[in-house]
């Protein structure tokens, strides 16, 4: 590119301009791919559109938070699998940092879910036509002729009793109600694999990997995550930018895109703001997903993860969480 620029300075754009054009073109393509999903969301729930347009702005979000009703503590004292968990400390950390990494699943629960995920076929890259067991990942890639970064179990996860035990856990609900307000309701439960593979930037973006972004599925949300295998730096750990749930650069509020370059995020929030979540199987954390975060690409071994999400609006009945509508 530099050689071309030197040979034809009047005809070839500077490298920086070409990168900008390519980046904008890629963003337009990503938005175009999502249009069928957006249209389906609006048809199912017209209230989705004002949320999608306004909930990215701090003024609208703060106004919506004023509608939060305090929890009445009705589920306090119920049996729990999280003995010793300090709900007050969790809520305080969420309000301050947007993330609380002090959750641990019992070994029996962790092992049961991991065994279920090993034995139950998943769907690759959100495509129900690509069905395989996690141990057959390489063969599935050879069969379909393209990289497979993720394998979601979709509604099959709800066939696992241990998944349901975590989903119905009263302490998770209490944390959500204290943070989001008494309107908090369960909206997502999923388990999925992230596989080591060679993949394009488009594939990584579809899997929400290696790109700082924020979630915009509801006005107010909280997500609990649990590692079901040991996760180190090579297993695709989750990264969260502390404090990014409470403030937002103006330019990031006035765009329809939720993903932004790492240098923009770190320049604004500080290079020490990201926290990388690593831990043994069973390690868990809870975050406000309006804060910037990303899943990194697994390089050495597959990552198996569980999510339980709470929001304040009704969940979609049309599609399972994370499943795009493609045309």
**DSSP-assigned states of every residue in 69-84:** PPP--TTTTS--SSTT
Whether pLDDT at 25 is above 80: no
Instruction: Quote the domain boundaries for residue 36.
Output: 14-311
Structure-token match 């500077």, residue found? 14
Mean pLDDT of all residues belonging to the chain? 86
- pLDDT score of 206: 57
Q: So what's the pLDDT on residue 18?
A: 32
* 1 within some domain: no
Q: What is the pLDDT of residue 77?
A: 76
Residue 131 forms part of a structural domain = yes
pLDDT at 327 over 60: no
Helix (H, G, I), strand (E, B) or coil at 188: strand
Domain-embedded: residue 209: yes
pLDDT in tens, 107-145: 999 999 999 999 999 999 989 999 999 999 999 999 999
Distance CA 64, CA 220 (A): 8
- The pLDDT assigned to 208 comes to 57
Q: Percent of the chain scored above 70 by pLDDT?
A: 83
Number of structural domains (the chain) is 1
- Residue 99 structure tokens: 């993330």
Of 285, 246, 241, the residue nearest 264 (C-alpha): 241
Residue 38 domain flag: yes
In a domain, 324, yes or no: no
Which residues fall within 8 angstroms of residue 105, CB to CB, at 6 or more apart? 81, 166, 226, 282, 284
pLDDT band at 35 (very low <50, low <70, confident <90, very high): confident
Strands 303-311 and 185-194, how do they pair? antiparallel
Residue 319, pLDDT score: 62
3-state SS class at 118:
helix
Structure tokens at 239: 């990264």
Would 322 be classed as within a structural domain? no
Residue 9 domain flag: no
Read off the DSSP letter of residue 12.
S
Question: What integer is the mean pLDDT of 294-318?
Answer: 90
Measured CA to CA, the distance from residue 242 to residue 196 in angstroms comes to 27
Task: Give the per-residue pLDDT at 13.
Answer: 35
What is the reported pLDDT for 36? 77
Most confident of 47-51, 76-80, 285-289: 285-289
The mean per-residue pLDDT over the stretch 98-105 comes to 97
In eight-state DSSP terms, residue 272 is T
- Please give the helix or strand (H or E) that residue 122 lies within, else none: strand 122-124
Q: According to the model, what pLDDT value does residue 203 have?
A: 63
Give the model's confidence band at 278: pLDDT under 50 very low, under 70 low, under 90 confident, else very high.
Answer: very high
- Which backbone phi and psi does 44 adopt, to 5 degrees? -70, -40
Token pair for 227 = 């590692």
pLDDT higher for 15 or 321?
A: 321
327 is a domain residue? no
Residues in the chain: 327
Give the 3-state secondary structure of residue 148: coil
Which residues 6+ apart lie within 8 Å of 162 measured at CB?
Answer: 108, 109, 112, 113, 116
Q: Which of 293, 296, 304, 305 is nearest to 237 (CA)?
A: 296
Place 239 in a pLDDT band, splitting at 50, 70 and 90. Answer: very high
**Residue 15: per-residue pLDDT:** 34
166: domain CATH number is 2.60.120.620
pLDDT bracket for residue 74 (50, 70, 90): confident
For 74, 117, 198, 229, 239, the CA distances from 305, given in Å and listed in that order, are 30, 10, 20, 8, 14
Name the more confident of 235 and 205. 235
pLDDT for 153-196, tens place per residue?
999 999 999 999 999 999 999 999 999 999 999 999 999 999 99
pLDDT value of residue 4: 33
Q: The tokens 């320049």 sit on which residue?
A: 267
Banded model confidence at residue 321, pLDDT cuts 50, 70, 90: low
User: Beta partners for 209?
Assistant: 295
**Which pLDDT band holds residue 211 (cuts at 50, 70, 90)?**
confident
**CA angle, 305 then 147 then 292, to 5°:** 45
Query: Residue 8: pLDDT above 90?
Result: no
């Amino acid at each position: 590119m530099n050689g071309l620029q030197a040979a034809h300075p009047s005809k070839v754009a500077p490298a920086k301009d070409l990168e900008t054009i390519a980046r904008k073109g890629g963003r337009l393509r990503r938005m175009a791919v999502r249009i069928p999903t957006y249209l389906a969301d609006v048809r199912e729930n017209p209230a989705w559109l004002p949320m999608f347009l306004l909930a990215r702005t701090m003024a609208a979000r703060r106004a919506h938070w004023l509608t939060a009703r305090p929890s009445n503590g009705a589920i306090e004292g119920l049996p729990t699998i999280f003995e010793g968990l300090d709900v007050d400390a969790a809520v305080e950390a969420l309000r301050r940092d947007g993330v609380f990494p002090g959750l641990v699943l019992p070994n029996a629960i962790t092992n049961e879910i991991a065994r279920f995920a090993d034995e139950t076929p998943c769907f690759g890259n959100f495509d129900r036509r690509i069905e395989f067991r996690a141990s057959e990942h390489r063969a599935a890639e050879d069969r379909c002729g393209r990289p497979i970064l993720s394998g979601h179990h979709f509604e099959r996860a709800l066939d696992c009793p241990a998944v349901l035990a975590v989903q119905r856990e009263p302490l998770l609900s209490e944390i959500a109600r204290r943070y989001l307000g008494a309107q908090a309701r369960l909206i997502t439960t999923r388990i999925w694999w992230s596989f080591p593979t060679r993949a394009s930037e488009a594939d990584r973006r579809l899997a929400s990997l290696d790109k700082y972004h924020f979630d915009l599925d509801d006005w107010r949300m909280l997500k609990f995550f649990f590692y079901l295998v040991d996760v180190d730096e090579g297993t695709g750990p989750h990264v969260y930018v502390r404090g990014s749930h409470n403030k937002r650069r103006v330019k990031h509020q006035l765009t329809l895109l939720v993903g932004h370059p790492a240098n923009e995020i770190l320049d604004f929030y500080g290079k020490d703001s990201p926290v990388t979540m690593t831990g043994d199987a069973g390690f868990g954390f809870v975050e406000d997903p309006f804060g910037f975060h990303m899943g990194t690409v697994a390089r050495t071994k597959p990552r198996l993860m569980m999510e339980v999400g709470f929001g304040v609006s009704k969940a979609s009945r049309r599609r399972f969480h994370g499943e795009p509508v493609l045309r």
